[in-house]
Copies of this chain bind each other. A is one copy, B any other.
Amino acid sequence: MGLKTSGSNLRVDGEALWADLMETARFGGTPKGGVKRLTLTAEDRQVRDWFVKTCEELGCTVSCDSMGNLFARRPGLDDSLPPITMGSHLDTQPTGGKFDGILGVLGGLAVLRALREAGHVTRHPIELINWTNEEGSRFTPPMMCSGVFAGIFTEQEVLDKRDRAGLRFGDELEAIGYRGGEVCGQHPIAAYFELHIEQGPILEAEELTIGAVAGVQGMRWYEVTVRGRDAHAGSTPMPLRHDALLASAHMIAALAEVARAHAPAVGTVGLIENRPNSNNVVPGETFFTVDIRHPEDHVVAAMEAAFQERFRAIAETGGVDVEIVPIWDAPAVHFDPACVAMVTDAAREAGFAPRSIVSGPGHDAAYVARVAPTAMIFVPCKDGLSHNEEESITQADAQAGANVLLGAILRADAAF
**A residues touching B (Cβ–Cβ < 8 Å)?**
198-202, 205, 217, 219, 221, 229-238, 240, 243, 245-246, 248-250, 252-253, 256, 259-260, 263-272, 274, 277-283, 289, 291, 293, 359-362, 383-388
Question: In the complex, which residue of chain B has the Cβ closest to the Cβ of A279?
Answer: B289
Contacting residues, chain B, for A245 (C-beta < 8 A): 252, 269-270, 272
Is the beta-carbon distance between B232 and A386 smaller than 8 angstroms?
Answer: yes
Q: Contacts A231-B384, A235-B359 known; A268 to B282 CB distance under 8 Å?
A: yes
Is the beta-carbon distance between B232 and A361 smaller than 8 angstroms?
Answer: yes
Is the beta-carbon distance between A279 and B283 smaller than 8 angstroms?
Answer: no
Is the beta-carbon distance between B233 and A360 smaller than 8 angstroms?
Answer: yes
Is the beta-carbon distance between B279 and A232 smaller than 8 angstroms?
Answer: no
Nearest CB on B from A329, distance (A): 14
Is the beta-carbon distance between B232 and A387 smaller than 8 angstroms?
Answer: yes
Q: A235 CA to B204 CA in the complex, in Å?
A: 12
Q: A293 CA to B233 CA in the complex, in Å?
A: 9
Is the beta-carbon distance between A246 and B235 smaller than 8 angstroms?
Answer: no
Nearest CB on B from A221, distance (A): 7
Q: A264 CA to B236 CA in the complex, in Å?
A: 10
Nearest CB on B from A207, distance (A): 14
Is the beta-carbon distance between A271 and B277 smaller than 8 angstroms?
Answer: yes
Q: A279 CA to B201 CA in the complex, in Å?
A: 19
Nearest CB on B from A261, distance (A): 10
Is the beta-carbon distance between A291 and B237 smaller than 8 angstroms?
Answer: no
Q: A236 CA to B361 CA in the complex, in Å?
A: 10
Is the beta-carbon distance between B272 and A280 smaller than 8 angstroms?
Answer: no
Contacting residues, chain B, for A230 (C-beta < 8 A): 385, 388
* Residue in B233, B249, B383 whose CB lies within 8 Å of A250: B249
Q: A265 CA to B283 CA in the complex, in Å?
A: 18
Is the beta-carbon distance between A263 and B249 smaller than 8 angstroms?
Answer: no
Question: In the complex, which residue of chain B has the Cβ closest to the Cβ of A221?
Answer: B279
How many monomers of this chain does the complex have?
2
Is the beta-carbon distance between B201 and A270 smaller than 8 angstroms?
Answer: no
Q: A238 CA to B258 CA in the complex, in Å?
A: 11
7 tightest A-B contacts by CB? A234-B360, A200-B235, A235-B360, A249-B252, A279-B289, A233-B268, A249-B249
Question: In the complex, which residue of chain B has the Cβ closest to the Cβ of A362?
Answer: B234
* Residue in B201, B217, B238 whose CB lies within 8 Å of A256: B238
CB<8 Å pairs between A and B, sample of 30: A200-B236, A201-B240, A217-B234, A219-B234, A232-B360, A232-B384, A232-B387, A233-B291, A234-B360, A234-B361, A234-B362, A235-B360, A235-B361, A235-B384, A238-B256, A238-B263, A238-B266, A238-B267, A240-B384, A243-B256, A243-B268, A248-B249, A268-B280, A270-B277, A270-B279, A270-B280, A270-B281, A271-B277, A272-B272, A279-B291
Is the beta-carbon distance between A278 and B270 smaller than 8 angstroms?
Answer: yes
Contacting residues, chain B, for A217 (C-beta < 8 A): 234
Q: A202 CA to B182 CA in the complex, in Å?
A: 73
Question: In the complex, which residue of chain B has the Cβ closest to the Cβ of A318?
Answer: B256
Nearest CB on B from A321, distance (A): 16
Contacting residues, chain B, for A268 (C-beta < 8 A): 233, 243, 279-280, 282
Nearest CB on B from A189, distance (A): 25
Q: A281 CA to B230 CA in the complex, in Å?
A: 29
Q: A205 CA to B248 CA in the complex, in Å?
A: 25
Is the beta-carbon distance between B277 and A232 smaller than 8 angstroms?
Answer: no
Question: In the complex, which residue of chain B has the Cβ closest to the Cβ of A219?
Answer: B234
Contacting residues, chain B, for A279 (C-beta < 8 A): 221, 268, 270-271, 289, 291
Q: A268 CA to B276 CA in the complex, in Å?
A: 13
Contacting residues, chain B, for A271 (C-beta < 8 A): 274, 277-279
Q: A221 CA to B385 CA in the complex, in Å?
A: 35
Is the beta-carbon distance between A246 and B236 smaller than 8 angstroms?
Answer: no
Nearest CB on B from A97, distance (A): 13
Question: In the complex, which residue of chain B has the Cβ closest to the Cβ of A293?
Answer: B234
Besides A201-B231, A268-B282, A271-B277, 10 other A-B contacts (C-beta < 8 A): A202-B235, A230-B385, A232-B387, A235-B359, A238-B259, A238-B266, A246-B256, A249-B250, A250-B253, A271-B278
